Amino acid sequence: MEREAERQLNEELLRQSFYGTGEECAAEEHRRTALCYARTEGAVAVLSDLREQRSLVCCGGFAERLGLGLSGGSYVVGSIWEEEVLRRIHPEDLQRKYLLELRFLRWMRQHPARCDCYLCEPLRMSDAAGASLDALHRMFYLAGDAGEGIRWALCLYGPRSLETADAVIVDPLAGSALPFDTPSGETLLSEREREVLGWIEQGLTSKQVAERLAISVHTVSRHRQNILGKLRVGNVVEACRIARNLKLLP
């Protein structure tokens, strides 16, 4: 399975500065929140401490359907990735989940005033018997009081009760949902960068792209470097793949 998006997401989450990201009382508050979601909604709630690189998994009734444990139980894993849960997600949806979380993390950094927003996406998962079921995943990034980093991430997994066909960013205060797969103001690449990458994807050289767009080869090279930097990849092949999966290309 392609793990590039997971690698990028892991790198961006763990390389943050966690100075000023809250006292331990905040950790206890988030722990109670995760337990509350598991008890009241029956969800599987996973609270990941990015600084300590561990996760608390709280089991609601949905955990029993997935074969993860008895409702009301909880356990700690030494990773920010809830592998037992992730193994039950359809491989295509898991790759898309990593890509969306990476994009959502960058969106949150660009919109710090909208810290109450969360990512909501449908997933295909397997139950304890291996049968397919429709699930809903919600992701919250929880910034510290000083706003200098995101120390906690809260993931909720439950049955799909909402009619959402695709991923959305939900603003609970405004009562609105932003379709997350639709190009909008938070798009990672500029229109010109998407043009350049689109021609590169079709096999054109920098000189041919420059001629097609009536710009200099130097400008094309600059766009290429900007694209690699924004997508956090080392070459244009990876950039094309990530951009295609993120629906940044037509």
Q: Are strands 132-143 and 176-179 parallel, antiparallel or unpaired?
A: unpaired
pTM for the predicted model, two decimal places: 0.67
Q: Rounded to an integer, what is the distance from CA 32 to the centroid of its chain?
A: 23
- The CA-based angle 3-7-12, given to 5 degrees, is 150
Give the DSSP letter string of 20-79: TS--HHHHHHHHHHHHHHHHHH--EEEEEETTTTEEEEEE-HHHHHHTS--TT-EEEESS
Q: Which pLDDT belongs to residue 106?
A: 83
Q: Which pLDDT belongs to residue 226?
A: 87
Tell me which CATH code domain 4-179 carries: 3.30.450.20
Provide the CB-side half-sphere exposure for 117 (13 A, CA). Answer: 24
Domains of the chain by residue range: 4-179, 191-245
Report percent pLDDT > 90 for the chain: 44
Q: Which pLDDT belongs to residue 62?
A: 96
Note the pLDDT tens digit of each residue in 191-246: 899 999 999 999 999 999 999 999 999 999 999 998 887 776 778 888 888 777 66
Query: How far apart are alpha carbons 137 and 74 in whole angstroms?
Result: 19
Token reading at 115:
């810290």
HEC-encoded secondary structure of 72-123 = CCEEEECCCCCHHHHCCECHHHHHHHHHHHHHHHHHHHHCHHHCCCEEEEEE
Average pLDDT, the chain: 84
Query: How far apart are alpha carbons 135 and 126 in whole angstroms?
Result: 9
Which of 140, 76, 80 has the alpha carbon at shortest distance from 114? 140
Q: Check for a shared fold between 4-179 and 191-245.
A: no
Query: How far apart are alpha carbons 94 and 88 in whole angstroms?
Result: 9
Tell me which CATH code domain 191-245 carries: 1.10.10.10
Name the packing angle between helices 236-245 and 191-201 (round to 10°).
110
Give the DSSP letter string of 206-219: HHHHHHHHT--HHH
